[in-house]
Amino acid sequence: MKTVEAHGETTYVVEPAELIETATRLRDEEGFDFLSDITAVDYLGWGDLGVSGYIGTSQGRDINSPMTQGFQVLPEPKPKRFAVNYHLLSISANPRRVRLQTWVDEGEPVPSVIYIWPTADWHEREQFDMVGIRFDGHPNLQRILLDDDWEGHPLRKDYPIGGEPVRFSGEE
């Protein structure tokens, strides 16, 4: 387990295989009884030129550094394509928050934490629906916000805005 401190927040980075063990320990021994949120992030194209750039320059980064046109600052590379973040809270007199983070590549599953925090049910379904992360052991891993027969996962970086499969009634 790796601990990262940034912006006043603590992040524990674990391998997917250690996730259940770490989560159980955090809940039972360190008092993190409240799961606030699960967020998956797609880092496809992270640091590539042009992905998060702005219109008008080809390599838009660090736009406020004078005369650089954004050439010199690139973000830290990431270990894998997807990060899954669990935001935990300890409801006590001395509240603490941590972020539990695990990294997976396309197609790799993450173990479900639904039996540790029941509230993970819809959070995991939403991240499956939107980012396409598979949560192993979830008893009802279906799409939640989009139609059951929707194609693709909209919050992935390779899914364009306006990229919905348009269907017309009566056409197959």
Partner 1 sequence: MTATAPRRTGSPIYEGSRIPHPIPTVLKTSPELEATGDILTINFGPNHPSTHGVLRLVVDLYGEDVTGLAAVIGYLHTGFEKNMEAKTWWKAIPYSPRIDYVSFQNNEYVFVGAVEKLLDIEIPPKAVWMRTALLELNRIHSHLVWLGTSALELGAISMFWYAFREREQILDLFELVTGYRMHTRYFQVGGLAEDIPRGFYPEARKFCEWMPKAVDDYETLLTRNKIWLERTEGLGLLSREDAIALGQSGPVLRASGVDWDIRRQEPYLAYHQVDFRVPVFQTGDVYARYLVHMAEMRESVRIVEQCLDRLERMEGEPWIADDRKVVLPPREELHTSMESLIHHFKIVTEGFRVPEGEVYFPIESPRGELGCYLCSDGGPRPWRVKFRAPSFVALQATATAMTDALIADMIAIVGSLDTVMGEVDR
Q: At closest approach, how far in Å is the CB of 51 from partner 1?
A: 8
- How far is residue 160's CA from residue 162's CA, in Å, rounded to a whole number? 6
- How far is residue 169's CA from residue 172's CA, in Å, rounded to a whole number? 8
- Give the interface size with partner 1 as a residue count (CB under 8 A): 55
- How far is residue 80's CA from residue 44's CA, in Å, rounded to a whole number? 9
Q: Fill in the per-residue mask, 136 to 155: x = in contact with partner 1 (CB under 8 A), - = not in contact.
A: ---xx--xxxxx------xx
Among 16, 33, 69, 108, binds partner 1 (CB under 8 A): 33
95 CB-contact burial (10 Å; exposed 0-12 / middle 13-18 / buried 19+): exposed
Question: Contact between 95 and partner 1 (CB under 8 A)?
Answer: yes
Q: How many helices (H) and strands (E) does the chain have?
A: 2, 7
- Cβ-based nearer residue to partner 1, 12 or 172: 12
How do strand 2-6 and strand 9-14 relate by DSSP bridges?
antiparallel
Q: At closest approach, how far in Å is the CB of 39 from partner 1?
A: 4
Question: Comparing C-alpha atoms, which of 57, 40, 44 is closest to residue 120?
Answer: 40
Question: Contact between 60 and partner 1 (CB under 8 A)?
Answer: yes
- How far is residue 61's CA from residue 130's CA, in Å, rounded to a whole number? 27
Question: Contact between 165 and partner 1 (CB under 8 A)?
Answer: no
Question: Contact between 122 and partner 1 (CB under 8 A)?
Answer: yes
Cα angle: 85, vertex 86, 87; to 5 degrees: 115
Q: At closest approach, how far in Å is the CB of 108 from partner 1?
A: 19
Site residues for partner 1 per CB under 8 A: 6-9, 11, 33-37, 39, 41-43, 46-47, 51-54, 56, 60-64, 73, 75-76, 85, 87, 89, 91, 95, 97, 99, 114, 117-119, 121-122, 126, 130, 139-140, 143-147, 154-155, 159, 161
